[in-house]
Structure 1
Amino acid sequence: MATFTLAARVDIELDIRKSRFIGIVMPVTDRAAAMQEIDRMRQAHPNATHVCWALMAGGQSGMSDDGEPSGTAGRPMLEVLRHHELDAALAMVVRYYGGIKLGAGGLVRAYTDAIATALKQAPRIERVAQAELEIGIGYAAEPQLRHWLAQHKYPLLDSHHDALVHLRLRLPAADLEQAEETIRRMASNASIKRTI
């Protein structure tokens, strides 16, 4: 089954019974990146009553009700991300309390609506599993290898030269075996190591 992530960050705002809900959805690489974004949001809104969040990031998923009654914010937001088959995605809602209690059902609807509304405006892209290769080849094969990388638009992450040319590149995981075979055809003595 294909999974998707978001192409860009989207912010929306809803007013529900005098409370202000700012919904944000954005792509993130992992839990550490998500925690940085949540901290930034807390710093940007120091007077907010709550900054609730939900994260879909493979084995690093999580959520927080941030002081709202248990199960009324983080879990509903996480379910919206799951429903949209998203991964590597962070949903946050900043709430400024307006003085009227919404009750548990009202809170679930408000947090769900904030994220669902933001996702309606958020372009999705298919998430392709990536891998990295570290390649060591002789100098004679370098021009041909660099030409091949450019043709396939595989990003070069790092390179250095000593007795060999060392290149580190990222490519779709599905292309790994074919890429290794092609590199070995270019340079039979190439050293190839998968790093992810």
Structure 2
Amino acid sequence: MKTISKSYQVELEIKKSQFICRLFPAKDSAEAKEIIRTISTKYNDATHNCSAYIVIDGEAYDDDGEPSGTAGKPMLNVLKKNNLNNIVAIVTRYFGGIKLGAGGLVRAYGKSVIEALSISDIVEIEEYKTYELSFDYFNIKTIEEYIRNYNIIILNKEFSEKVNYKIAIKKEEDIEPFKEKSKKTAKVEFLNNEYLNLNAKD
């Protein structure tokens, strides 16, 4: 599955109207909606803040006052045509005084997303199961040996009263053999399923 590595922004001027396209990675619809709400609030002086998103638990678009089907839907179509997921597109428009017509709006909003994607770093992501691993300091060497043996990836390390690792394993792989092997030395708790770009670590 493909998505963008980080947020991107481009600005276009079309018949005196300013179109600002912002792209954001998002893991689910709740995050996508929060991004849209934040941008719409921040740029509430704009004529329109149109949006589209595709995430693991759904997709949606919003014309935000533009004629129905002339803004959000063409934006969504561009995302689909590029086979992208876990992505939010928001196009902020400041009206310049010249009406574009329905066809002109469709082209302007679609082009805004195309231009933003042209400067974006597109990455492949895979679904992983993530867990929190907690253990005592004197077990670090043992636990890390187990991790290597079971094709587990360490995402983050925290050192406080105990050692806490955030770990990941590919969705199709089984964590149970690792849990059984480490049950006397570590506590393993499931966190969630996440789409991650871990090709550099594999």
The TM-score, its normalising length taken from structure 1, stands at: 0.80
Q: Counting helix residues as a fraction of each chain, which structure ranks higher?
A: 1
Structure 2 portions without partners, runs of 5+: 193-202
The residue identity in structure 1 corresponding to 2:154 is: Y
Mapped pair 1:78 → 2:94? no
Structure-2 residue corresponding to 1:97: 95
Maintained 8 Å contact 2:52/2:90: yes
Structure-1 residue corresponding to 2:104: 106
Q: How many residues align?
A: 190
The TM-score, its normalising length taken from structure 2, stands at: 0.78
Structure-1 residue corresponding to 2:56: 58
* Alignment deviations for residues 53-102 of structure 1 (CA, whole Å, 9 cap, x no partner): 00101223211000001111111111111111111100010000111111
Structure-2 residue corresponding to 1:154: 154
1:42 to 40, 43, 46: 40
1:169 to 163, 166, 172: 166
Q: 1:40 to 1:138 in 2, by over 3 A?
A: closer
Q: Counting strand residues as a fraction of each chain, which structure ranks higher?
A: 2
- Using the TM superposition, give the Cα deviation of residue 26 of structure 1 relative to its aligned residue in structure 2, in angstroms: 1.5
2:180 to 159, 179, 184: 184
Maintained 8 Å contact 1:22/1:95: yes
Structure-1 residue corresponding to 2:65: 67
Give the root-mean-square deviation of aligned CA atoms.
3.0
| CA–CA separation in structure 2 for the residues paired with 1:99 and 1:134 | 55
